[in-house]
Amino acid sequence: MYRINHSMKQIFLMITIATLVVSCGKTGMPLPYGYFRVDMPEHAYAVTPDSLNLPYSFEASNVSVIRKRTDATELHWIDVDYPQLHASVYCSYLPVKGNLFQLM
């Protein structure tokens, strides 16, 4: 059997007391269950304007702002910005002409 000497007992007692003193502090606050609610503004949908000269079309919300990417190397990349929500959707376009595996 192992014998624990007197100094080891004192060290163990001091660590235990220090742990109890440090752990007694503010009580924790439980967090509520759920997610943040995002209130969406009133909106309607319209087809993207032809002035963008895109080879595709989609319905965008009237609260969004569609702008072409100026820093993109590809021609038909756009950003759909939602200023009220401080959010953006980045859209890219690459035509698939039998080269799907090369594009992936």
Ordered mean pLDDT values, 10 residues apiece, the chain (104 residues): 72 87 74 78 85 87 88 82 90 87 86
* pLDDT value for 81: 94
In a domain, 81, yes or no: yes
Domain that holds residue 54: 45-103
The amino acid at residue 81 is D
In a domain, 31, yes or no: no
Per-residue three-class SS string for 3-44: CCCHHHHHHHHHHHHHHHHHHCCCCCCCCCCCCCCCCCCCCC
* pLDDT value for 10: 87
Give the count of domains, the chain.
1
In a domain, 39, yes or no: no
In a domain, 14, yes or no: no
* pLDDT value for 89: 93
* pLDDT value for 6: 76
In a domain, 30, yes or no: no
* pLDDT value for 88: 94
* pLDDT value for 2: 58
